[in-house]
Amino acid sequence: MQFGIFTVSDITQDPTTGHTPSEAERIKATLTIAKHAEEVGLDVFAVGEHHNPPFWSSSPSTTLAAIAGQTERIILSTSTTLITTNDPVKIAEDFAMLQHVSGGRADIMLGRGNTGPVYPWFGKDIRQGLPLAVENYALLHKLWREDVVDWDGKFRTPLQGFTSTPRPLDDVPPFVWHGSIRTPEVAEQAAYYGDGFFANNIFWPKDHFQRLIHLYRQRFAHYGHGTAEQAIVGLGGQAFIRPNSQDAVNEFRPYFDNAPVYGHGPSLEDFSEMTPLTVGSPQQVIDRYAAMRDTFGDYQRQLFLMDHAGLPLKTVLEQLDLLGGEVVPVLRRELAKDRPADVPDAPTHANLVQAKYGDGPVRQPTPGANRGDNLTAGGPYQDTPAPAGAAFGLGAAGR
């Protein structure tokens, strides 16, 4: 079972002080938060993708690469990478590179996001959101598994003899989570490929997510990847923790009331009743999240949103101390009790490598005759020198 945190990268005024951090301040704080998450024993740090204020995280792979250079153990993920508006070739390259620079501590969560205008910003049509998600992932899946790719689809120019670089570390692609809060087609897609399904259940009632997760589990089994109970499930969560529960409520209320997503809406009490948001003592958070297995079955990853709504860095670091020091160790024990032996562990690069190679040698792809050169539409590397200027795309018209 993996525990971690994710950030939505909002830049929000602190309602108690009136201070609004700059982009630079917020980005630097996020790096500090990620490092502290590792220090307190958490397993995963994830960052979302947004291209509009008040969010700063337009390039998650860059952020995660910076964190990789300052950490040693924690898994680095996204929460979400936009499969609809990003070029699958660029995703393939960016996250294979992140695998290499992090030593395999990288996976990815794909989704459609929650900002409609992002589609025209990147030249896409929102009415094609689901077909884009399906086709783009089919290409990404292929790019990570085939050294030389031919591709002809609806939404991008064809590829002929294309090799994405670098190749995945150990020839094992990053593990993929498909994230959704509302779309059964995404659960179906995750099940079809045998990938993970992340139900970010932080805003809607549990009944809705029970149906999505049940669909994913049943279809996972239908496609022959294992039993329904062996499907790979992740959940979102939110908590604000203080040793005394009333102190937690009093301190968090102004942040909740002015949060950019749910502020000026339901009361803190009503929202806490409808969603996993838990504001209280460590034991209250433990009790709430230990019961998630009763609702959703055994699952593999639990991520908490901890750094939003204008909370100052000092407070977020204190929250991580309580989460990592008092909550997660107990949840690890509670969620491990009576866990069936055939329920898989959370995916890591190490166990994916072991599943692929066993005790055999690990393949490290290198340039060779089995790879395209991306210049001559897929021919193998040749001993014959290319014409002068060819490497820079300079044909006769370019000289």
Q: What is the pLDDT of residue 372?
A: 67
Are 272 and 342 in the same domain? yes
Q: How many domains does the chain have?
A: 2
Are 206 and 321 in the same domain? yes
Are 225 and 242 in the same domain? yes
Q: What is the pLDDT of residue 160?
A: 93
Q: How far is CA 352 from the centre of its chain?
A: 17
Are 43 and 104 in the same domain? yes
Q: Are 376 and 384 contacting, i.e. CB atoms less than 8 angstroms apart?
A: no
**Beta bridge partner(s), residue 304:** 5
Q: What is the pLDDT of residue 134?
A: 93
Are 310 and 397 in the same domain? no
Are 360 and 376 in the same domain? no
Per-residue pLDDT of the chain (399 residues; tens, 9 = 90+): 999 999 999 999 999 999 999 999 999 999 999 999 999 999 999 999 888 888 888 899 999 999 999 999 999 999 999 998 899 999 999 999 999 999 999 999 998 876 778 888 888 888 888 899 999 999 999 999 999 999 999 999 999 999 999 999 999 999 999 998 778 899 999 999 999 999 988 777 788 899 999 999 999 999 999 999 999 999 999 999 999 999 999 999 999 999 887 878 899 999 999 999 999 999 999 999 999 999 999 999 999 999 999 999 999 999 999 999 999 999 999 999 999 999 999 999 999 999 999 999 998 887 665 666 777 654 443 343 444 443 333 333 333
Are 266 and 336 in the same domain? yes
Q: What is the pLDDT of residue 161?
A: 92
Q: What is the pLDDT of residue 284?
A: 98
How far is CA 170 from each of CA 57, 164, 365, 371, rounded to the nearest angstrom?
29, 15, 8, 16
Helix axes 184-193, 206-222, angle to 10 degrees: 30
* Calpha distance 292→284 (Å, rounded): 13
The number of beta carbons lying within 10 Å of the beta carbon of residue 190 is 27
Are 313 and 389 in the same domain? no
**Beta bridge partner(s), residue 7:** 47
Phi, psi dihedral angles at 235 (to 5 degrees): -130, 150
* Calpha distance 264→257 (Å, rounded): 6
Are 105 and 143 in the same domain? yes
* Calpha distance 377→161 (Å, rounded): 5
Are 254 and 106 in the same domain? yes
Are 306 and 395 in the same domain? no
Q: What is the pLDDT of residue 182?
A: 77
Are 244 and 134 in the same domain? yes
* Calpha distance 88→92 (Å, rounded): 6
What is the CATH number for 118? 3.20.20.30
Domain that holds residue 280: 2-366
